[in-house]
Structure 1
C-alpha cells in the first residue's frame, strides 16, 4: 500500500532523515520505534505532506505522493493523528469531528461515520457538545483519532498516541487501534512505548538518528537483544 524509497529530509541544514526506506502492506499494523529526536515524527509529517523530501520517492497505492500538498494526500486516503493531539480547543467535540470530514460531500456517510466514532469512543458521545479544550488528555487523544477516522482513511498515521496518558487509558487506546485495524484500516504507528507497540504490530522498524537500523516482524524485534536493551528496559 505504501512504499518509501531512499528518502532524505532536511530541516534547514539539519539532515533529519537519511536514505529511509520502508513499506506498509494493506491490512497491517506497522510500528516505528525509536528514541526522542530519532526522526519518527519527521517521517510521518513527510508522508502526510507537511514536509517535502529532498530526494527519494513515496508511493501510495501505485501513485507517487512525495511532495504533494497535505490536502491532496488526505483526499487520497491517508489521515494523520499528530503528536500532541492538536484538537481545536475552542470548538466542541462534535465540531472537531465534523472538521475531519471537511473534504467529504456524502452527508449520509458522514452521519454514519459520526455514529461509528461515538460507538468506538462512548466518552466522546457523552461530551459531544463540550469544548474540546476542556477534555482530559486521554479524551483529546480519542478525539484526535476520531477526527482522523471521519476522513474515512485507508491508511492511518498515528504519532505517539500514548504520550502523557495514564496506563489504563493507554490500554484502551491500543485496544481501539486494534479494532480500527480489524475494521479494515491499515495503520502506521509511531510510538515510544515499544512494549505496547510491538504487542499489537505485525511488523516493525527501528529508527535511530534518522536512519532505519533494524526491521522485522514484531515478534523478531521483541526477541532481539539489541531492541530489548535499548527499548524494552532489558526485559
Structure 2
C-alpha cells in the first residue's frame, strides 16, 4: 500500500531523515517507535505532504506522492492526526468534524461517517455543540481522530495519540485504534508508549537519529533484548 524508498528529509540544514526505507501493507497496524527526536514525526509529516523529501521516493497505491501538496494527499486517502491534536479550539465539535470532510461531496456518505464517528467516540456526541477548546485532553484526542476519519482515509497516520493522557483514557484510545483497524483502515502509529504500541501492532520499525535500526513483527520486537532495554524498561 505504502512504500518508502531511501528518503532523506532536511529541516533547514539539519538532516532529520537519513535514507529511510519501509513499507506498509493494507489492513495492518504498523508502529514506529524510538526516542524523542528520532525523526518519527518528521516521517509522518513527509508522508502527508507537510514536508518534502530531498531524495528517495514515497509510493502510495503504486503512485509517487513524495512532495505532493498536503490536500492532494488527503484526497488520495491519507489522513494525519498530528502530535498535539491541533483541533480548532474556537469551533464546535461538530464543526471540527465537518472540516474533516471538507474535500468530500457525498452528503449521504458524510452523514453516515459522522454517525460512525459518534459510535466510536460516544463522548463527542454528548459534546456536539461544545467549543472544542473546552474539551478535556482525552476528548480533544478523540476529536482529532474523528476529524481525520471524516476524510474517509484508507491510511491513517497517528502521531503520539496517548501523549498527556491518563492511563485509563490511553487504554480507551488504543481500543478505538483497534476498532478503526477492524473497519479496514490501515494505520501507521507513532507512539512513545512502546509497550502499548507493540501490543496492538502487526509490525514495527525502530528509529534512531533519523534511521531505521530494527524492524520486524511486533511480537518478535517485544521479545528483543535490544528493544526491551531501550524502550520497554526491561533487563
What's the TM-score, normalizing by structure 2? Answer: 1.00
Runs of 4+ aligned residues of structure 1 deviating over 2 Å after TM superposition are none
Displacement of 1:207? 0.1
Q: For residue 128 of structure 2, give the secondary structure of its aligned residue in structure 1.
A: coil
Cα-Cα RMSD: 0.5
- Give the equivalent residue in structure 2 for 1:108: 108
Displacement of 1:84? 0.1
Contiguous gaps of at least 5 residues in structure 2: none
- Give the equivalent residue in structure 1 for 2:144: 144
Displacement of 1:219? 0.7
Q: For residue 67 of structure 1, give the secondary structure of its aligned residue in structure 2.
A: coil
- Give the equivalent residue in structure 1 for 2:183: 183
- Measured in 1, the distance between the counterparts of 2:108 and 2:183 equals 19
- Give the equivalent residue in structure 1 for 2:50: 50
- Measured in 2, the distance between the counterparts of 1:162 and 1:40 equals 15
Displacement of 1:234? 1.1
- Measured in 1, the distance between the counterparts of 2:185 and 2:219 equals 21
1:164 aligns with 2:164: yes
- Give the equivalent residue in structure 2 for 1:5: 5
- Measured in 2, the distance between the counterparts of 1:223 and 1:119 equals 35
- Measured in 2, the distance between the counterparts of 1:17 and 1:140 equals 29
Contiguous gaps of at least 5 residues in structure 1: none
Aligned residues: 235
1:155 aligns with 2:125: no
1:40 aligns with 2:35: no
- Give the equivalent residue in structure 1 for 2:214: 214
Q: For residue 53 of structure 1, give the secondary structure of its aligned residue in structure 2.
A: coil
- Give the equivalent residue in structure 2 for 1:135: 135
- Give the equivalent residue in structure 1 for 2:89: 89
- Measured in 2, the distance between the counterparts of 1:3 and 1:18 equals 16
What's the TM-score, normalizing by structure 1? Answer: 1.00
- Measured in 1, the distance between the counterparts of 2:12 and 2:103 equals 32
